[in-house]
Amino acid sequence: MAHVSRWLVDRGLDGGDLTSAVVEEFLQARRAAGYGQWLSLRGMAPLLDYLRGVGIAPARSPVVANSAVEVLLAAYEAYLVGERGLAVSTVRNYLHVARQFVSGQCVSERAELDGLTAARVSEFVLAGCRSRSVGSATLLVVGMRALLRYLHLAGVTQTVLVGAVPSAASWPASSLPQPINRGQAARLLNSCDRRTAVGRRDFAVLTLQLRLGLRVSEVAALELSDVDWRHGEILVRGKSHREERLPLPADVGEAVAGWLRHGRTQCASTRVFTTLLAPRGELTGKAVSAIVKRAACRAEIPAMTAHRLRHTTATDLLRSGASLPEVGQVLRHASMLSTAIYAKVDHAALSAVVRPWPAGAR
């Protein structure tokens, strides 16, 4: 902030002159001066968002599609968000694949995609998968299929080319969930210093994830009005704009109430979880993930992702006697196939259906 201020004063400007072009000019000057941090628009985002929010800096300039490729991608993005209701991260991944493919076709006019063939599609996928991991190859395949469905739906291509996309060598439910044990979960929670505001917030975030299996995006999106204290319920805003209510356990309610009453400071955001440093605002999904990573480090637990806490919730429910459909309801799975992976960790149920090894077999 101090550097931006000095730079503006040297040029006879003020905060009201921080247009997109001026911000880029400042970043170029900072890079040229040899600075090692805050060199991108992403680093400037917190300051710019605050200045725009209080009406000092001008609003962000809208991005105008000025080529056939950009027009097509803009329409595709609107379809993914509006029609399919995909999460922001999923839309970003799909658009990355679409940009690579469409740009590689040297499209100058939309009509040129009419001649798209299955061979060109297969060639692009095979070439892109050679240097990718299995997970990355799967993202490429899924993204290409989504794009090809849209191109046919929008009338850009006359033929459905989804079948031309080869399958990635990744089978559903082939991996094992990796929950943490109860001792590690207790260490995570105990690592939060609840005498401080940060500790109360982190404790509430971890409790929500461990007890209710919330995703990081769902924790970040939690609004103050989503917690129904009178009826003991919590509204969860999940994938595809789905909204579902879950019971609010007593320990979860106590953790959230402790943060709201003794940790959360006043700010314009209506989200439950906010930052504590100015400019104060809502937590992002990445910030929630960072809370889990820091807690694991404090508890001296090997590095872990926030999604493992969701696996832990499912595993604990199964061990407590819940059925797979009940686990799916708590985790808000759209399909039972997503829940079926947890059958692998229910050793008691699996032992009842295991067949004896044939006598004399080697």
| Catalytic residue annotation | 215, 239, 307, 310, 333, 342
What is the Cα–Cα distance from 274 to 205, expressed in whole angstroms?
11
Query: Are the C-beta atoms of residues 166 and 141 closer than 8 Å to each other?
Result: yes
CATH of domain 182-348: 1.10.443.10
What is the Cα–Cα distance from 146 to 162, expressed in whole angstroms?
8
98-105: Cβ within 8 A, 24+ apart: 98/73, 98/143, 98/147, 99/69, 99/73, 100/128, 101/144, 101/147, 102/69, 102/72, 102/73, 102/147, 103/69
Largest Cα–Cα separation, the chain? 90
The class of domain 68-164 in CATH terms is mainly alpha
The pLDDT assigned to 296 comes to 95
The pLDDT assigned to 298 comes to 95
The residues spanned by each domain of the chain are 2-53, 68-164, 182-348
The pLDDT assigned to 111 comes to 45
Residue 241 has pLDDT above 80, yes or no: no
The pLDDT assigned to 109 comes to 47
Instruction: Tell me the mean pLDDT in the region 12-21.
Output: 88
Answering whether pTM is above 0.75, one says no
Please spell the DSSP secondary structure of 244-269, one letter per residue: EEEE--HHHHHHHHHHHHHTPPP-S-
Q: Could you report the per-residue pLDDT of 254-310, keeping only the tens digit for each?
A: 999 999 999 998 888 899 999 998 778 889 898 999 999 999 999 999 888 899 999
